[in-house]
Structure 1
């Protein structure tokens, strides 16, 4: 057993330890400002990490935007394989991750906060546990509380508001 206290660990240390959210954990490492935030002890956050199964169940990949696909002829390869496509995909992926990062911790019930993507969210305690609003996404568990915040495992994803 490690002698490291939870308060000396950062979100970036514990996020990859929960296998059921390793897709989201990997995405956070690929976006430098997010990775930096999760590593920095003075920047508290609540990470709303969707289950792998919730990300896999999406109609589109996290980097795909339905409006962009329509604008570029209805095919993902047209929207993301040509010209500025890689840049668009990276921006969409970053917004997806930012939508799941609340820049406060602890986070009080019914406290409305803007995610890093600019969406307003709050949580409420229901009969079956915590629910992130306005999307109504259930928090399955809170496996990690560390020095710079908490990781909440979501049973769904937060969509663009």
Structure 2
């Protein structure tokens, strides 16, 4: 009986493709479906862009950054300041404006809450909840309530150059790079959106 069982096994392995029974849906039913895109997500681009690591670090502190990975929430236009632009700020994104009245001591919990709110306002000001957008002479609302970004043409710019190279915003901030993602567009900028 033992020999018969061993002899039967090779015949199972050598079954023709017409005799094989496929799994339902060609995969295990409890396995999640893997979605692929031809382009990386905004989160992917931010992860591999070393000159934008400070912005992405701030964004990861918030729930907003999870939306950079998915297309379920729509498409985004990100104005991502370079590390150099963030370091040049006199007041960092987590800091309050300089006090005009005597400083009152606050608890560590209150400080963390205020810092998180400031970071959320700053990051939100760099996100336009639309994509694609037309840059030349247009104004777009950001995720920060009441804050919009105005793109102005650069005088004397080369009309044959990409549109993003021919505009400034916030006075003199320029777009220095552009990358397309499956869920939006990332513009690398040499300045920041000002938050009052």
Q: Give TM-score scaled by structure 1 length.
A: 0.81
Consecutive unaligned residues in structure 1, runs of 5 or more: none
User: Does the CA-based 8 Å contact 2:153-2:168 persist in structure 1?
Assistant: no
Consecutive unaligned residues in structure 2, runs of 5 or more: 1-35, 159-164
Deviation of the 1:35 alpha carbon:
1.3
Q: 2:79 aligns with which of 30, 42, 48?
A: 48
Deviation of the 1:83 alpha carbon:
5.0
Relative to 1, partners in 2 of residues 1:121 and 1:51: Cα closer, same or farther, differing over 3 Å? same
The 2-side partners of 1:154 and 1:55 are apart by 10
Relative to 1, partners in 2 of residues 1:116 and 1:71: Cα closer, same or farther, differing over 3 Å? farther
Structure 2 counterpart SS, 1:150: strand
User: Does the CA-based 8 Å contact 1:123-1:130 persist in structure 2?
Assistant: no
Q: Which residue of 1 aligns with 2:169?
A: 133
Q: Which residue of 1 aligns with 2:3?
A: none
Structure 1 counterpart SS, 2:149: strand
The 1-side partners of 2:43 and 2:177 are apart by 18
Structure 2 counterpart SS, 1:59: coil
Higher percent of residues as strand: 1
The 1-side partners of 2:122 and 2:166 are apart by 21
Q: How many residues align?
A: 150
- Structure number with the bigger relative contact order (C-alpha 8 A, sep ≥ 6) is 1
Residue 5 (str. 1) matches residue 30 (str. 2) = no
User: Does the CA-based 8 Å contact 2:138-2:152 persist in structure 1?
Assistant: no
Aligned 1:3-42 pairs, distance under 5 A? 5-6=38-39, 9-32=40-63, 34-42=64-72
Structure 2 counterpart SS, 1:84: helix
Q: Give TM-score scaled by structure 2 length.
A: 0.68
Rg larger for: 2
The 2-side partners of 1:97 and 1:39 are apart by 16
Aligned 1:99-138 pairs, distance under 5 A? 99-109=125-135, 110-118=137-145, 119-126=147-154, 127=157, 129-138=165-174
Q: Which residue of 1 aligns with 2:189?
A: 154
Give runs of ≥4 in structure 1 deviating > 4 Å. Answer: none
